[in-house]
Structure 1
Amino acid sequence: MSADQKQRSIRCLVAKVGLDGHDRGAHVIARAFRDAGFEVIYSGLHKAPEDIVQAAVQEDVDVLGISILSGAHNALIPKVVEGLEEYGAFEDTLLLVGGVIPDEDKAKLKEQGVAEVFGPGTELEETIQFIRENAPER
């Protein structure tokens, strides 16, 4: 078996947390990630933070990308971080947030453990490149 065959592709969970019902962007991201060669799991709509943590742990993902447009990011993202920490999965999971996040909230999210926040208009290739450069190696 060659080194390329042994290399595991990057596993990503694209998740919608809370009551946010807008998922067009999440579908676009999931498709772009798949086309980039990543393994992609999509959570579906209206997931509790605990549900997303469970899926991330059970699926052994490298990247957890949360799409949120509801404005509840300051309440919901810390719950995801806490859940990942409880399972010992936080250090092995690249946590990304995408959506309409006010600039003043981005630094706070990063302090809480979010690796990067991607807003509307971010080029898909920029997000893909960030993942390739920062996903944990296993």
Structure 2
Amino acid sequence: MAVRVLVAKPGLDGHDRGAKIVARTLRDAGFEVIYTGIRQRIEDIASIAVQEDVAVVGLSILSGAHLALTARTVEALRAADAADIAVVVGGTIPHADVPKLLSAGAAAVFPTGTPLDNLVRDIRALTGTSDPVTEESCASE
């Protein structure tokens, strides 16, 4: 059975090309991908993640609100008794914010320019199919 990944666009950001590319890349790598579409509420993302029994929630954030949206998503999953679902975040994220996002509960961070192979590798690692994710792998370009 394929590992299930939810790709979501939280907040008001309406640009979803990157999220769609990530969703397709993960699907082509053998993951089962659920894409929520744009402008999703954090509570809805957490609810969908639980309903769809995903292993990973991937947030695509270009708005600059990555710190708050990531922390809120992690908290919403905890509140839904789903703290075992890994949260990863990608988008327009300064490399200086990677440690802050990891401290807020993100399992991996993919700033703009992260090679898609790295994203696939790290999500495989999070789901137990390869090596562990490190802060260095999140920050690599």
TM-score between both structures, scaled by the size of structure 2: 0.87
Distance 2:65 2:31 in 1: 28
Select which of 23, 48, 52 maps to 2:16.
Answer: 23
The reply on whether 1:55 has 2:48 as its aligned counterpart is yes
Verify the 8 A CA contact 1:17 1:67 in the aligned structure 2: yes
After the TM superposition, which parts of structure 1 deviate over 6 Å for at least 4 consecutive aligned residues?
none
The correspondence for 1:45, drawn from 19, 31, 38, is 38
1:28 and 1:68 map into 2 onto residues whose CA distance is: 14
Shift of 1:72: 1.1
Structure 1, gaps ≥5 residues long: 1-7
Q: Deviations over 1:26-82 (max 9, x none)?
A: 000000111111000001000011111111111110011000000111222111111
Match status 1:14 vs 2:7? yes
What is the rounded CA distance, in whole Å, between the counterparts of 2:3 and 2:36 in structure 1?
17
Q: Which residue of 2 aligns with 1:135?
A: 127
**Identity over aligned pairs, percent:** 53
Aligned alpha-carbon RMSD (Å): 1.3
Deviation at 1:102, TM superposition (A): 1.7
Shift of 1:136: 5.5
- Counterpart of 2:136 in structure 1 is none
Q: TM-score if structure 1 supplies the norm length?
A: 0.88
User: 2:68 pairs with 42, 55, 75, which one?
Assistant: 75
Distance between the aligned counterparts of 1:75 and 1:29, measured in 2?
22
- Asked if 2 retains the 8 angstrom alpha-carbon contact of 1:94 and 1:136, the reply is no
Q: Which residue number corresponds to residue 101 of structure 2?
A: 109
